[in-house]
Amino acid sequence: MAGTITHKIQEEVGATVNTLTGLYPLYQSQVETVNETSSILSQVKERMKELNNRSAQVADTVSELNGAQRKLNETILNVSSVSEQTAASSQQVATVCEEQVGMNARLVELSAELDQLSVYLKEPLVSFRV
């Protein structure tokens, strides 16, 4: 009986060894697959870090662009204000020029009147000459 049990144990151990020997290539293949997967995941992790860094750089650049855009908008508003002031000044100058044209026309009229008066006064003065 002890011999039978021992023999049975030896057969089962042999069968187990044969099964494990047959499964060893599968185990090796799975270990290689796990190692490859680990390597790929490490690469993905590094790429994700790079992506996060680039995303932070893009966010910083966008922030800088927003600041530049605000400054540009302020400058455009200032230019617009100066343009409006210049237009108002130009309008005032045009008005003054129109007034001067009117005054010049009146001066020409007065000059003509003075010329006529001068001719009119010359006639009596000629009679006073000796």
pLDDT at residue 83, as a whole number: 94
The residue behind tokens 């021992």 is 6
Structure tokens at 92: 């005032």
Each residue's pLDDT expressed in tens, for the chain with a length of 130 residues: 777 888 888 888 888 888 888 888 988 999 999 999 999 999 999 999 999 999 999 999 999 999 999 999 999 999 999 999 999 999 999 999 999 999 999 999 999 999 999 888 887 777 776 5
Residue type at 126 in one-letter notation:
V
Interatomic CA distance for residues 13 and 19, integer angstroms: 10
Please, what's the b/e burial string for 62-79 (b: 16 or more CB within 10 A of its CB; e: otherwise)? eeeeeeeeeeeeeeeeee
Interatomic CA distance for residues 93 and 45, integer angstroms: 71
Q: How many CA atoms lie within 13 A of 8 on its CB side?
A: 5
DSSP letters, 115-128, are: HHHHHHHHHHHHHT
C-alpha distances in angstroms, 43 versus 33, 38, 49? 15, 9, 10
pLDDT at residue 129, as a whole number: 63
pLDDT at residue 40, as a whole number: 97
pLDDT at residue 130, as a whole number: 57
